[in-house]
């Protein structure tokens, strides 16, 4: 079966589109976060090491994430996989390529979701979350009826630190330095599919469904 990786800057809607795409095609969605949580729950030796990094607030090292991926993926899946947020670096991408030899796993293409910096900054900085029930709103695309208050529980709405403009710009910078080189990597292999993700969710999903075989 076909396997794809989703690439794109923070705020481009990668997680949502990947999940929707998986549902539509009956594929399996794999994110590094899910794998890390599953391993911790399984209580394996690797899971214990992962737990130590997570508890101390540190980043889980690349080689552990790669081991997890290689343990989880198989070359003969009936449904195929969508890798969400992975690979993130050239090093990881090279290791994924090597999985063709080790476990028979082949990435058909990297699907690149594209939107301008301004669009993703607007999307992320407009997000608000309810302190009470965790419902999410967007100042432009889904505002609450009363400014600053949750429609469901009248809780106070707040902005996550991650969504503040300065932080968003910094996340974009990290993406550009770390992940954008992957675009050339897959471009050189002739295995990139570019999707315009600058519109609303339904339009973006239609573009995705049309362009991915
Ligand atoms: Zn609420």
Summarised one tens digit per residue, pLDDT across range 97-122 is 999 998 899 999 999 999 999 999 99
CA 128-14-143 angle, 5° bins: 25
Could you say which DSSP state residue 58 is in? P
- For the structural domain made of 4-116+178-211, what CATH number should be given? 3.40.50.300
The answer to whether the predicted template modeling score (pTM) of the entire model surpasses 0.95 is no
Summarised one tens digit per residue, pLDDT across range 165-208 is 999 999 899 889 888 899 999 999 999 999 999 999 999 999 99
Q: How far is the CA of 128 from the centre of ligand 1 (A)?
A: 11
* Catalytic pick among 106, 131, 134, 160: 160
What confidence score (pLDDT) does residue 67 get?
A: 87
Summarised one tens digit per residue, pLDDT across range 54-100 is 888 777 888 888 888 888 888 778 899 999 988 988 889 999 999 99
Per-domain residue ranges of the chain: 4-116+178-211
| Alpha-helical segments (H) within 7-116 | 14-25, 32-42, 45-55, 62-72, 90-102
DSSP letter string over 13-40? -HHHHHHHHHHHHTPEEEEHHHHHHHHH
* Catalytic pick among 95, 123, 128, 171: 171
- For ion ligand 1, residues whose CB falls within 5 Å: 130, 132-133, 135, 150, 152-153, 155
- Name the band, by pLDDT with cuts 50, 70 and 90, for residue 151: very high
């Amino acid at each position: 079966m076909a396997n794809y990786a989703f690439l794109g800057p923070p705020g481009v809607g990668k997680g949502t589109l990947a999940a929707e795409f998986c549902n539509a095609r009956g594929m399996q969605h794999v994110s590094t976060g899910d794998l890390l949580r599953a391993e911790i729950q399984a209580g394996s030796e690797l899971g214990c090491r992962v737990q130590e990094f997570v508890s101390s607030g540190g980043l889980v090292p690349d080689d552990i994430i790669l081991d997890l991926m290689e343990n989880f993926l198989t070359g003969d899946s009936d449904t195929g996989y969508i890798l969400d947020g992975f690979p993130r670096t050239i090093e990881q991408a090279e290791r994924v390529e090597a999985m063709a030899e080790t476990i028979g796993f082949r990435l058909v293409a990297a699907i690149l979701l594209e939107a301008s910096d301004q669009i993703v900054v607007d999307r992320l900085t407009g997000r608000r979350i309810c302190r009470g029930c965790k419902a999410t709103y967007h100042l432009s695309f889904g505002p609450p009826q009363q400014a600053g208050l949750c429609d469901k529980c009248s809780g106070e709405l707040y902005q996550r630190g991650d969504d503040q403009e300065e932080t968003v710009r910094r996340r974009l910078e990290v993406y550009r330095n770390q992940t954008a080189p992957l675009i050339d990597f897959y471009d050189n292999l002739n295995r990139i599919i570019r999707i315009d993700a600058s519109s609303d969710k339904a339009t973006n999903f239609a573009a995705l469904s049309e362009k991915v075989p």
